[in-house]
Structure 1
């Protein structure tokens, strides 16, 4: 029998988790001897994959990602049907609206009822100045990102994927031996010594006993989110990584609010445009099946920390978000009216030169390598994660993709 192919996926967010899961599924379907290891430096879904909004959109994407997005939207629905996604990770279809509002304190000049206001009776009708439908249950849906990513890892482990916790510090190409690459890993030895900023933030569990100091691999996938660019350079791949070396982090804040008892939220996502006394704001609000509402604000240029477990929160950004949501919906989202703020959090979105980067990185002198990149999805990681997992599995096992066109997404 042929020796099993060994594949290491670096990064336990939605992209790495999806890649590991679909790799294991495709290998099993074809009876291929493949050993898959998922390496995570903090905890599964520790970054944006645990703190994003979770909106899924079918046809909001540009030409380069349209095929991938369509595949991913279908795959989300298929996974939910197969694994009970409605119960396990809050999958549901929903309406998506754009809302404009004047929170500057000026008197509304409206003389008649705003058209379409029946769609959002939970909002402050005195402040809403305009609305439009961006998506319906035919084209937009949602998941709870942390629950979805964690569930994918659980299913991947059932298929034989090994999960280890540690930081990849080096990549050595072997000139001889049974595998061309050795990954050098520093095990995650202790929990984060600093207390979490939010009582709901998961505690980082020690996992040094589960992580070897090195791993042998025939193929390596770098799916490290906003840390991808730095990691590629640290591993000596910066010169040949193409667009991937530019992937970096952009910090975004968010809150999760539970309305007062008896106040229910409709299955809606809102993209808002708010006029304030001293400027303009555009928070996004996603109501979830668990009865909570998630709201996120703009990103900033705060430096990327070493790990997702030590991301800091700007209290002023959280205060602004809470003030905006409370004005938009005082009856449902205002702490002064009995709403509870369950999470105050921040994460770093993986951004780069525009579109995500999917594919194999060149070796020295343009020679093919066994190193691949799957990162740079910005705010669309959860949306396009499953599709990315499918095409990366095909690339790794077949050398080409058949489920989506990613020609414009190559490194």
Structure 2
């Protein structure tokens, strides 16, 4: 066994709890959320300049709402290329983001004791491939163990995220892995909290794309100047989307407002 980090050198975040907190925080600050919703078309003025986006909300595809905007940000993960193609059907540009499907299992730590909550330490364990894949274990506060690492590039990306259905075969493989790697407590069965399948947005270079999309790639649509308009994209972070999200949000906001970025993102431009 090799120790790759020590106390004070790394940290772990729970994606679900982080996203729930983030949603509450942006709503507290006055952000309006349209969910579920589908972006269906760009709205332009008489001079073909972007002035809004049209969305359909819920399951009612016949009822649409127009949202005025001069700046548009596409951050739809593995679905970003589809969103771009839908909104800019005349564009010949390609968003080089594909999907990597990953199954996961969330189980209860059989050794967890609630009275020792404050003494718990979060751990991450990366194992070698002896079970058909390379398991990754993450121990979280509250007695949760997250098991992942069973990935595939062959599972088709569904139309929308709510259509995602985990493979029974893959989940069973994870369960057998959990049984093999956990030291079971006598008389206590493994408690499964959640079964999952997610599609991570990946790029061939391994680098995400955080960039303004040049107007010439918008298929005839123009935008206002850099400080008041533009179409932007942030996608392709792979398995590190949650951990890179705050920093990405920071430099993206600076990019949108025409300010100097806090870090050099030149290598994250949309490929020509």
Relative to the length of structure 2, the TM-score reads 0.84
Contact in 1 for aligned 2:112/2:143 (Cα 8 Å): no
Q: Cα distance, 1:260 vs. partner?
A: 2.9
Equivalents in 2 of 1:308, 1:176: separation in Å?
Answer: 35
Indicate whether 1:247 and 2:97 are aligned: yes
Equivalent position SS for 2:30: coil
Q: Cα distance, 1:154 vs. partner?
A: 1.2
In structure 1, the residue matched to 2:227 is none
In structure 1, the residue matched to 2:54 is 184
In structure 2, the residue matched to 1:8 is none
In structure 1, the residue matched to 2:196 is 345
Aligned residue pairs, count: 253
Structure 2 gaps, min length 5: 224-229
Indicate whether 1:385 and 2:240 are aligned: no
Indicate whether 1:270 and 2:125 are aligned: yes
Could you give the per-residue CA deviations for residues 132-185 of structure 1, whole angstroms, max 9, x where no partner exists? 1112233321111111112112111222211112100112332359x8322111
In structure 2, the residue matched to 1:171 is 42
Worse-matched range after superposition: 285-294 or 316-325: 316-325
Of Structure 1 and Structure 2, which has the larger fraction of its residues in helix?
1
Relative to the length of structure 1, the TM-score reads 0.57
Structure 1 gaps, min length 5: 1-130, 191-207
Aligned partner (choices 129, 147, 157) of residue 295 of structure 1: 147
Q: Cα distance, 1:397 vs. partner?
A: 1.2
Q: Cα distance, 1:274 vs. partner?
A: 3.9
Equivalents in 1 of 2:28, 2:158: separation in Å?
Answer: 32
Equivalent position SS for 2:198: strand
In structure 2, the residue matched to 1:226 is 78
Indicate whether 1:154 and 2:24 are aligned: yes
Higher relative contact order, structure no. (Cα contacts within 8 Å, ≥ 6 residues apart): 1
Contact in 2 for aligned 1:257/1:292 (Cα 8 Å): yes
Equivalents in 2 of 1:171, 1:394: separation in Å?
Answer: 24
Equivalents in 2 of 1:372, 1:269: separation in Å?
Answer: 34
Could you give the per-residue CA deviations for residues 309-332 of structure 1, whole angstroms, max 9, x where no partner exists? 110111111111111121111326
Equivalents in 2 of 1:282, 1:260: separation in Å?
Answer: 22
Equivalent position SS for 2:8: coil
Equivalents in 2 of 1:365, 1:383: separation in Å?
Answer: 30
Could you give the per-residue CA deviations for residues 329-378 of structure 1, whole angstroms, max 9, x where no partner exists? 1326x9x8422011111111111232100010011279974100011101
In structure 2, the residue matched to 1:406 is 265
Matches for 1:44-83 after TM superposition, within 5 Å: none
Instruction: Mark the CA change 1:383 to 1:240 in structure 2 (over 3 Å): closer, same or farther.
Output: farther
Equivalent position SS for 1:405: coil
Contact in 2 for aligned 1:297/1:321 (Cα 8 Å): no
Equivalents in 2 of 1:327, 1:186: separation in Å?
Answer: 47
Aligned partner (choices 130, 133, 136) of residue 6 of structure 2: 136
Equivalents in 2 of 1:380, 1:255: separation in Å?
Answer: 18
Instruction: Mark the CA change 1:318 to 1:365 in structure 2 (over 3 Å): closer, same or farther.
Output: closer
